[in-house]
Amino acid sequence: DVVMTQSPLSLPVTLGEPASISCKSSQGLVHSDGNTYLNWFRQRPGQSPRRLIYKVSNRDSGVPDRFSGSGSGTDFTLKISRVEAEDVGVYYCMQATRWPITFGQGTRLEIK
């Protein structure tokens, strides 16, 4: 199985400051069709996870452009250019290149 390892697991950030979450996979995530199925989700308290980024760097509809995804191979990053109060929650990376689909442990972003 592909193991997804996120860091840090806790991320206190000052409003207006940038934030970055790392996600490393135990195997390369390039599918035989040439795509890399690496997604990012955010889960707010009491809500279901919501996808923010798909295929490494594509923002979902309605996701502010302060969110960006990057990476390749086994190293991926989610960046928030300027953290706002509404960004609080737990962020998960997920790979769907190979079944079983696997998630990272989650990174809890909080405001300092």
Q: Is 103 in the site for other proteins (CB under 8 A)?
A: yes
Tell me 52's DSSP state.
Answer: E
Of 76-95, binders to other proteins (CB under 8 A) are: 90, 92, 94
Of 50-79, binders to other proteins (CB under 8 A) are: 50-51, 54-55, 60
Q: Is 5 in the site for other proteins (CB under 8 A)?
A: no
For every residue of 82-105, which 3-state class applies, written as one string? Answer: CCCHHHCEEEEEEECCCCCCEECC
Distances (CA, A) of 56 to 1, 23, 30, 33, 73: 20, 11, 11, 15, 10
Residue 27 or 105: which CB sits closer to other proteins?
105
Note the residues at the interface with other proteins (CB under 8 A). 1, 31, 33, 35, 37, 39, 41, 48-51, 54-55, 60, 90, 92, 94, 96-97, 99-103, 105-106
